[in-house]
Structure 1
Amino acid sequence: MINFNGTMVADDANILTQNRGFLYGDAVFETVKIVKGSILFLEDHYFRLMSSMRVVRMEIPMNFTMEYLEELLLSVADANNILDSARVRITVYRNDGGYYLPTTNDVSYLIHATALEQQQYSVSSDAYEVDLFKDFYITKQLLSSIKTTNRILNTTASIFAFENALDNCLLLNDSKNVVEAIQGNIFMRIGTKLITPPVSEGCLNGVMRKQILALAKKTATIEMVEEVISPFDLQKADEIFITNVIKGIQPITKYRKKNFNSDLANELVERLNEQILPNYVVK
């Protein structure tokens, strides 16, 4: 028997007692965007998920091909009648057994989906204010670059942002450099130079980060570099924006007393839509 919210129930009546993702954060995940029945950047998501599973020494099932993953994700969106535009997440967790030391490296997975309002990416013109989150720091290590279910730092930072009427927070690593935002990678433009922290600084190896890096490198007027960003550099910026697969690009309009424009963000979103939307049609 176990106690669940004050009620004694059979220990097999609650799946959480046997879920290592819940008990130890022993899980990795990917969140994808589906447009017109196709998964954006499928190959990038697939290889990052496989890499994440290898990093934490999970056994990758033989049938876990890219085509199989695609079928799994699309089938859940289809079952919810949201194939036109959807957010779908797959969480892969190590099977039950053991404590810190698992008795198996075999895995199970859970997939769920929610509808999105629009297919194409857009840049919001609303005010978007951020500040630094300095209560806890990201460590510069490989685990920080993959998506595990241990997101207590991001959760705590989100609560801090809410309590301080902020739209987001910028996270720092243990060298006190800017690494990323709560739910996305960070890019900073100073003049014609666009800067994002290298993955070695502890930032997530984001799928949208990869797309923006590629687009920026093809922009003749922009010098794209991966460099360390200190908090002092933010005050010198002309533009700062956050990237993730679901939103695309979110411009930051204010950091402390400094206001920013969104010129490059608008240009990159336009080019991003031109690149991806013609390639995705209903299957």
Structure 2
Amino acid sequence: MINFNGTLQDNSSNLLSIDNRGYAYGDALFETIKVLNGKILFWEDHYFRLMASMRILRMEIPMNFTMEFLQDEIIKILEANNETGNSVRVKLLVNRVVGGKYLPVSNNIDYVITTEVLPTDLYQITDSSYIIDLYKDFFIAPGLLSTLKTNNKITNVLGSIYAKENGFDNCLLLNTNKNIIEALNGNIFVVKDNVIKTPPLEDGCLKGIMRKQVIELLKANDEFEFVEDSVSPFELQKADELFITNVIVGILPITNYRKKEFSSEVSKSLLQKLNIKIRLT
């Protein structure tokens, strides 16, 4: 089952018009959310990011689109799918309603909520190898639009194809200034000695929800100095550790970049703190 504008529909229902603006023009936003045993993780952060993104894209926010309303809509589809006792990936997609070409006839929106059961509950780190490289065929323009989770993800798609064809687990994206901004599926953090650095939003990286959680953990930890600054590809070879963050996997350590091997002690320590934070909230 899926939740389409508050109505539960069968997955096979023909809901997507050929004129859907998310399909036809990429005129859509989405939130990827983790729900653990019926508890929506970091819900307030997801909600306010969605509201801010809708305002930036000039979408009309319905009067009933409160935090409580959307939370209830998510729980409704979880209950319909008997998934309230599971770890679940929820996708909340908002698109402008059908009509118009580049210029929409209305700024009103439709929304769809889908779910997918995940194999694990709390965040975990395995000792498996995780090999990355740079994706340099196309670049991301720095700016506000690049920080949003829109349907315009063709660079991530092409980068994912490139990674698979070349035997990599992931790739790092560059902006037009040739600085690293993020991985294909999450934000990137670089550890060198006691300094942990991540690219600033101004460089064009996604305004990630897990990025925010990790930054909060780092700022509360006197063991490390946290820095938001541009990351050059040359810094990767000198780093002690690299890790990727997103709300589904939490913290994912990178083991290899070209001939460089990395440790994962900082990643594991931060993940323990993250799981403690989840249990306490």
TM-score by length of 1: 0.93
Provide, for residues 80-108 of structure 1, a one-character-per-residue CA deviation record: whole Å limited to 9, x for no partner. 11122111001100001110000000000
Alignment check: 8 A CA contact 1:16 1:23 kept: no
Q: Which residue does the alignment assign to 1:255? A: 257
Alignment of 1:50-129 (within 5 A): 50-84=51-85, 85-129=87-131
Alignment of 1:229-240 (within 5 A): 229-240=231-242
Task: After superposing the two structures, state which structure 1 stretch, 28-37 or 162-171, moved more.
Answer: 28-37
State the SS of the aligned residue for 1:176.
coil
Task: State the alpha-carbon separation in 1 of the partners of residues 26 and 117 from structure 2.
Answer: 26
Alignment check: 8 A CA contact 1:187 1:240 kept: yes
Q: Which residue does the alignment assign to 1:34? A: 35
Residue identity (%)? 51
Q: Which amino acid aligns with 2:172?
A: L
State the SS of the aligned residue for 2:271.
helix
Task: State the alpha-carbon separation in 1 of the partners of residues 176 and 197 from structure 2.
Answer: 20
Task: After superposing the two structures, state which structure 1 stretch, 76-85 or 219-228, moved more.
Answer: 76-85
Structure 1 residue 33: deviation in Å? 0.5
Q: Which amino acid aligns with 1:82?
A: E
Q: Which residue does the alignment assign to 1:141? A: 143
How many residue pairs match? The answer is 267
Unaligned runs of 5+ in 1: 1-12
State the SS of the aligned residue for 2:168.
coil
Structure 1 residue 269: deviation in Å? 0.3
Task: State the alpha-carbon separation in 2 of the partners of residues 54 and 17 from structure 1.
Answer: 25
Q: Which residue does the alignment assign to 2:214? A: 212
Unaligned runs of 5+ in 2: 1-13
State the SS of the aligned residue for 1:21.
helix
Task: State the alpha-carbon separation in 1 of the partners of residues 249 and 76 from structure 2.
Answer: 23
Task: State the alpha-carbon separation in 2 of the partners of residues 234 and 54 from structure 1.
Answer: 36
Q: Which amino acid aligns with 1:89?
A: K
Task: State the alpha-carbon separation in 1 of the partners of residues 92 and 113 from structure 2.
Answer: 4
Provide, for residues 130-174 of structure 1, a one-character-per-residue CA deviation record: whole Å limited to 9, x for no partner. 000000001101010010011111000000000000000000000
Structure 1 residue 58: deviation in Å? 0.3
Q: Which residue does the alignment assign to 2:162? A: 160
Structure 1 residue 18: deviation in Å? 2.4
Task: State the alpha-carbon separation in 2 of the partners of residues 186 and 16 from structure 1.
Answer: 36
Task: State the alpha-carbon separation in 2 of the partners of residues 77 and 59 from structure 1.
Answer: 26
Task: State the alpha-carbon separation in 2 of the partners of residues 265 and 259 from structure 1.
Answer: 14
Q: Which amino acid aligns with 2:137?
A: D
TM-score by length of 2: 0.93
Q: Which amino acid aligns with 2:274?
A: L
RMSD over aligned CA atoms reads 1.0
